[in-house]
Structure 1
C-alpha cells in the first residue's frame, strides 16, 4: 500500500509508513542538477520512496561499478553502458531484467539490440539517448579564416586546421585530462574508419579474440591524435583539460572546433557569442567514404537488490516524465518513440543524426565496442602517446593484447 493511501485510513497517532530509500549511482558529467531535479520530482510523486543520488567520478562508468560489485555494495539504480561488460552483469543476475517495463517497450527498436545480452538475451538497460559523435565548430572563426567549405577527409581537415592557426585561432580542443572524450572522439572515429570500414565482422571478432588490432591501421588511430598536437593545432595545457574545461574553451571562443558528443548539444550550440554549426568528423582517407559513429548513449539499469521494485519505478520515471527535464538542457536525440513533455532535440543534431543514420556503414562509440578493462587501458594508452611515452605502434600492440586477453578470459 502506498503511504498516501494509508494516511487516509490510519487512526490519529498511527506510525507513518516506512519509506524506502533507494541509491542511484549516476554518470552525469554535465547534468548533475537535472538528475537531482528528477529525483526530487519522483519522490514528490512517490512519497513512499526517497532517492539517494550519488554521482560517478573518474573517466569511465565501469571503473565506478566494479568496486561496488566487489564490495557487495550494489546501488539500486545505476548508469551503465551498452557493452559486453554490462551484458555479463545481466547474465550473472547482477542487473535486473527490464524487458517488461514501459520504458523498454517505448525504446526505439534499433537500440534494443545494444541493450540485450548475447548469451541469455536479457534486456538489461534503457538508453539515455541516441549517441552520435560530431565536430562542433565556430562558424564566425571559419569565416574570418577564409574557410569556404567544410572538410570531407582527414587531409582536408589538417588543411583547415593550418588555415585557422595562421589566422590566429586555436583549431581544435583536445580533452587530454579527460581521456573519455578522446575515446569518444578521435579514437572512435579512427576505429570506425580504419577498422570497421575494413572488417564487417569486427564485433564478433572482438568477442572471440580474433580481431587483429596490432596493425598499421590501428597505430594510425593513435598517430592522428599525436599529429594534431605535433602541428600545434590544440590548446595550451591540453593534457590538463577536463570535461567541463573543454566545453568552456569552445563556448568562450578560445578554440574553433570541439570533437564532442550529441549529448552535449544543449551546452555547445546555445548561449554562445558566435554562430555554431556541426559536421561529420572527416577521419577518412581521401577517396574513401567516411564512417560515422552512432549508437546508444550511456543509460540506466536496475540492480537485483531488495529495493528492485522501487528502483524499477524510478527507472520508469526517468524514462518518462523525467526525460523532459534532461532534454530541456541537453537537447539530444530521444531514444524513445514517444517522449511526453520532452523538448525535441536541437534541429542541427536531429538533421545530423538523420543523415548519418542512413550511411551504409556506421560504427559504435568506443565504450560499447571495447571490453571494460580495455577501455581503462585505452585511456592510459592515449595519454601516453600524447605525452610521447610510447609510440602509436606500441599503443596498437598493447591495445591488441588487452582485447585478446579479455576475450580469452570471458568469451571462450
Structure 2
C-alpha cells in the first residue's frame, strides 16, 4: 500500500546508514498465507517481519521458536498503545508472538440508490422485510446481493453465514458443534441467498468477481471490511455516496451485535543477533505509533488495534467507526473463530449445498469434521 511505502521511506530516511527496511510486495494474499505456512513448516521464517490472520490455525505458529515473543521485548509504554482486548486475544499460553495490528468489523453494505429505485428508502429491520426488499429489486431487474463460494474462504458469503449463525445461536455459537440447529438454519439461509438472491455465477465465484458485481452496480448489497471503503474504484462509482452499512436484520434472538475480527497481526523472526532484534523492534514501534497508524487509517480506510485520536472525515469510513461504536457486543466470523481448515471445507462444500447436492445438515456435518476441538 502507498501509505506503508511512505512510512517505510520516512523511517529509512531517519535511519540512513543504520537500518534499512525493504518491502516485499504480496499482491495475492491467499498465496502469501500459503507461503507463510509452508516456510514455517520448513523451519524458516518467511521474512524478518510478516503478517498473519490470527485464528486457531495460525495460533499454532506460536509453538515455533522461529517467532519473536513480543512479551519479552515490549516495554510498558509500547504496550499501552495497543487495545488491551486485542492484545489479550493475541496472547497464547502467556506468549505474544504476534502483535494485533489491523482489526475489522464485517457489516453488510447497501447501495441505497438501487433500493430507492424500487421505492425503499430505509434499511430493512426484519428478515421478512429484507426478503421483501430483495424481491422488489429482482422484479425491477436488479440482482439483490453479491455471493460467492470460491477462493479458500467463500469470503462474502462466509460473512453472511456468520451474521446468520451468531443471530441464531448467540455470540458464543462458535463453541457449539457445527451440527447445532443454529448452523443448520444459517446454512439454509445462506443457500437461499445464493440461489434466489445472487448472480448466476455465484457458485465458484471468487472475491474479485463478487466485489466486481457490486462495483459495477450489478448487485445492490455486498459484504466486506473497512479496507474496501478506501478503494479508488469504489469512490468512482455513481452510487458511492448512497452506501449505507449495517448488520443484517436478526435471523434469531441475538440482536445489535457486529461481526468482527483481528484482520492482520504482525509477526517477527526471532534472532540471536541482538542488533537485528533491536532494529526489528525499533521499526515496529515506529510502524505502530499513533502518528503512523493515523496516516494508515486515513489513506486505507482500515481500522486498527492501536489507540489514536484519529477519526475519519470521509462519510463511508466514518460509518464503520459509528457502527462499531453502536454495537452492544461483537462476535468473530467463521474464519476468525474456527481457522483455515474448517473455513476451506466450508467454502468447498458451500457450492455443493447451493447446487442441491447435499443438504444443510450434511453440509454442517462435513464442516464439523474439520474443526479441531
Scaled by the length of structure 2, what TM-score is found? 0.83
The residue correspondences of 1:119-134 to structure 2 (distance < 5 A) are 120-134=93-107
Deviation at 1:64, TM superposition (A): 3.7
Any idea what SS the aligned residue of 1:53 has? coil
Deviation at 1:54, TM superposition (A): 4.3
Aligned pair partner of 2:342 in 374, 393, 397:
374
Deviation at 1:217, TM superposition (A): 2.2
Kindly tell me: are residues 216 and 287 of structure 1, through their superposed partners in 2, closer, same or farther at Cα, counting changes over 3 Å? closer
Deviation at 1:325, TM superposition (A): 4.4
Cα deviation code 1:360-391 (max 9, x no counterpart):
x4311323200342233222222332344433
Q: Flag structure 1 segments of 5+ consecutive residues without an equivalent.
A: 1-31, 408-412
- Any conservation in 2 of the 1:43–1:49 contact (CA below 8 Å)? yes
- Any conservation in 2 of the 1:133–1:184 contact (CA below 8 Å)? no
- Compare 54-63 and 245-254 and name the one that shifted more: 54-63
Q: Which residue of 2 aligns with 1:226?
A: 191
- Any conservation in 1 of the 2:169–2:182 contact (CA below 8 Å)? yes
Cα deviation code 1:155-189 (max 9, x no counterpart):
22211111111122111112333435236511321
Q: Which residue of 2 aligns with 1:285?
A: 251
The residue correspondences of 1:293-312 to structure 2 (distance < 5 A) are 293-305=259-271, 307-312=276-281
Establish whether residue 337 from structure 1 lines up as the match of residue 307 from structure 2. Answer: yes
Establish whether residue 176 from structure 1 lines up as the match of residue 149 from structure 2. Answer: yes
Q: Flag structure 2 segments of 5+ consecutive residues without an equivalent.
A: none
Q: Which residue of 1 aligns with 2:48?
A: 76
Q: Which residue of 1 aligns with 2:34?
A: 63
Aligned pair partner of 1:326 in 273, 280, 296:
296
- Any conservation in 2 of the 1:61–1:81 contact (CA below 8 Å)? no
Establish whether residue 165 from structure 1 lines up as the match of residue 138 from structure 2. Answer: yes
- Any conservation in 2 of the 1:134–1:278 contact (CA below 8 Å)? no
Q: Which residue of 1 aligns with 2:168?
A: 194
Any idea what SS the aligned residue of 1:140 has? helix
Deviation at 1:93, TM superposition (A): 3.2
Establish whether residue 110 from structure 1 lines up as the match of residue 85 from structure 2. Answer: yes
Tell me how large the CA RMSD over aligned residues is: 2.9
Count of residue pairs the alignment pairs up:
358
Report the Cα distance in structure 2 between the residues aligned to 1:387 and 1:42, rounded to whole angstroms.
52
Deviation at 1:288, TM superposition (A): 5.4
- Any conservation in 2 of the 1:95–1:124 contact (CA below 8 Å)? yes
Deviation at 1:255, TM superposition (A): 1.5
Q: Which residue of 2 aligns with 1:85?
A: 57
Scaled by the length of structure 1, what TM-score is found? 0.76
Any idea what SS the aligned residue of 1:362 has? strand
Report the Cα distance in structure 2 between the residues aligned to 1:329 and 1:245, rounded to whole angstroms.
24
Q: Which residue of 2 aligns with 1:51?
A: 22
Structure showing greater Rg: 1
Cα deviation code 1:5-32 (max 9, x no counterpart):
xxxxxxxxxxxxxxxxxxxxxxxxxxx4
Q: Which residue of 2 aligns with 1:314?
A: 283
Deviation at 1:104, TM superposition (A): 3.7
Aligned pair partner of 1:394 in 353, 362, 365:
362
Report the Cα distance in structure 1 between the residues aligned to 2:13 and 2:157, rounded to whole angstroms.
38
Deviation at 1:143, TM superposition (A): 0.9
Kindly tell me: are residues 78 and 331 of structure 1, through their superposed partners in 2, closer, same or farther at Cα, counting changes over 3 Å? same
Cα deviation code 1:99-132 (max 9, x no counterpart):
4166543112232222111xx2222323333311
Deviation at 1:139, TM superposition (A): 1.5
Report the Cα distance in structure 1 between the residues aligned to 2:358 and 2:36, rounded to whole angstroms.
29
Q: Which residue of 2 aligns with 1:251?
A: 215
Deviation at 1:34, TM superposition (A): 4.2
Report the Cα distance in structure 2 between the residues aligned to 1:81 and 1:344, rounded to whole angstroms.
28
Report the Cα distance in structure 2 between the residues aligned to 1:326 and 1:175, rounded to whole angstroms.
29
Q: Which residue of 1 aligns with 2:69?
A: 97
Deviation at 1:80, TM superposition (A): 1.6
The residue correspondences of 1:237-276 to structure 2 (distance < 5 A) are 237-239=201-203, 241-267=205-231, 270-274=235-239, 275-276=241-242
Kindly tell me: are residues 387 and 256 of structure 1, through their superposed partners in 2, closer, same or farther at Cα, counting changes over 3 Å? same
Deviation at 1:315, TM superposition (A): 2.4
